[in-house]
Amino acid sequence: MNNINKNIITIEDIENAPNGSLDFSFDGIIEDIPSNEPVKANLNIKSLGEFIKITGTFNAKLVLVCDLCLKEYQYDMHEEIDEMFAKNSLKEEYGAETELKSTQFVNDLNGDDKIDIYDLLYQSVILNIPNKKVCGINCSKGKFQTDEEFVEEDPRMQIFKNIKIGNNK
């Protein structure tokens, strides 16, 4: 590839590749992704006439904060990517309002001649972070046990003990 940025793939590179198909590997840190290790991805980028299809897998070891106990933990992510890009704008073809079906999700390049793989991976990782982050099935929910009783581990949570709601004392 003749690109200055090795994470940018041009439409020309894809179409000039044998069978209109490129294999692409990524191994690097993605900024703003909570990870101590590089994100690794193996992708196949294929030209399909007016569309570009990107398929493959990525692996990431994220550092997340448990929603229950507020401790950091490692979350291993192994996900698939299956994205479709339209080379030309779809606005003229579909008009202002069109009902989309599950197989019609396409990223519109609006005539741009390149695809940013770094951005694709960033979005894929962010969208696959779980909504409810829990460090494990046996999470202590912010408490640890001493010989006598359970003790609150996080002092920031103490303020919630004194909240009064309605007529409850």
Please check whether residue 150 lies inside any domain of the structure. no
Please list the alpha-helical segments (H only) found in 82-116. Answer: 91-94
Domain count, the chain: 1
Question: For 22-54, how does the pLDDT look when each residue is reduced to its tens digit (9 = 90+)?
Answer: 999 999 999 999 998 999 999 999 998 888 899
Please check whether residue 146 lies inside any domain of the structure. no
pLDDT of residue 68: 87
What single string gives the DSSP state of each residue in 14-35? HHHSGGGEEEEEEEE--TTS-B
Please check whether residue 165 lies inside any domain of the structure. no
pLDDT top residue among 101 and 70: 70
Please check whether residue 151 lies inside any domain of the structure. no
Torsion angle of the four alpha carbons 70, 71, 77, 82, in this order, in degrees rounded to the nearest 10: 20
pLDDT top residue among 53 and 105: 53
Please check whether residue 163 lies inside any domain of the structure. no
Identify the three-state secondary structure at position 123: helix
Question: For 75-100, how does the pLDDT look when each residue is reduced to its tens digit (9 = 90+)?
Answer: 999 999 998 888 876 555 555 555 55
Residues spanned by the domain of 109? 8-139
Least confident of 52-66, 86-100, 104-118: 86-100
Please check whether residue 64 lies inside any domain of the structure. yes
- 129's tokens: 């972070």
Phi then psi for residue 11, to 5 deg, are -60, -40
The pTM of this model reads: 0.71
Please check whether residue 166 lies inside any domain of the structure. no
Question: For 148-162, how does the pLDDT look when each residue is reduced to its tens digit (9 = 90+)?
Answer: 444 555 677 777 777
Residue 105 reports pLDDT greater than 70: no
Long-range CB contacts for residues 101-109, cutoff 8 Å, separation at least 24: 106/51, 107/83, 109/52, 109/85
pLDDT of residue 103: 53
Please check whether residue 50 lies inside any domain of the structure. yes
For the segment 135-148, the average pLDDT, to the nearest whole number, is: 64
